[in-house]
């Protein structure tokens, strides 16, 4: 058995955070999609919250999850664009121990096939903090579907070869 891939699927505890000044539980289609997609993939929804575009509130929630020994991954949707209120990258990146540069690069490459050059306005990013992987993606449900189905679901699958993030998540 390889160090990086396993024959046994490992359930991962994942938290979902929606960053928005306008969404609530009824209108949060992106957060709801991610929660449903991760459970359908066999993972456990550890927590789900909605927070306004306030860097200190975002950091408080994400820091709590990073410190929680049970939460292994965090999916953040929203706040990655260029409006004045889009501050997710600035709020979250300071918490990273290591950045996963390839996530943003690959997300924009895949997104280009769907939305063309508008993808340059996405500041999608990912990183690790305290052995927790954190993915930050745009707030549209389409962007979340692209990120989940074409990148994240495989990286959170212990059976994915030649490698995946699961060996890096044990706290």
* pLDDT tens readout for residues 87-111: 999 999 999 999 999 999 999 999 9
pTM: 0.95
Residue spans of beta strands (DSSP E) within 83-154: 98-99, 125-129, 132-137
Q: Are 71 and 16 in contact (CB under 8 A)?
A: no
The whole-number pLDDT of residue 1 equals 41
Write out pLDDT tens, residues 31-76. 999 999 999 999 999 999 999 999 999 999 999 999 999 999 999 9
Based on the number of CB atoms within 10 Å of its own CB, is 135 exposed (0-12), middle (13-18) or buried (19 or more)?
buried
- At the top level of CATH, the class of 13-168 is alpha beta
159: its two tokens: 């059976």
The domains of the chain are located at 13-168
Q: Are 124 and 80 in contact (CB under 8 A)?
A: yes
The whole-number pLDDT of residue 171 equals 60
**Is pLDDT of 3 > 80?**
no
Residues 10-29, mean pLDDT to the nearest whole number: 95
Which pLDDT band, with edges at 50, 70 and 90, does 7 fall under? confident
Q: Which residues of 36-72 are buried (b: 16+ CB within 10 A; e: fewer)?
A: ebbeebebeebbbebbebeeeebbebbeebbebeebb
């Amino acid at each position: 058995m390889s160090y990086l891939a396993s024959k046994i699927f490992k359930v991962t505890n994942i938290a979902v955070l929606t960053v928005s000044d306008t969404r609530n539980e009824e209108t949060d289609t992106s957060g709801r999609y991610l929660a449903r997609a991760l459970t359908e993939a066999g993972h456990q929804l550890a927590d789900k919250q909605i927070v306004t575009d306030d860097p200190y509130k975002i950091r408080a929630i994400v820091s709590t999850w990073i410190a929680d020994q049970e939460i292994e991954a965090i999916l953040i949707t929203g706040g990655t664009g260029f409006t004045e209120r889009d501050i997710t990258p600035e709020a979250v990146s300071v918490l990273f121990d290591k950045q996963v540069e390839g996530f943003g690069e690959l997300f924009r490459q895949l997104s280009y096939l769907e939305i063309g050059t508008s993808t340059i306005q996405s500041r999608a990013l990912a990183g690790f903090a305290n052995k927790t992987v954190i993915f930050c993606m745009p707030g549209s449900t389409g962007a979340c579907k692209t990120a989940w189905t074409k990148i994240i679901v495989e990286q959170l699958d212990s059976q994915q070869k030649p490698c995946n993030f699961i060996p890096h998540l044990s706290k």
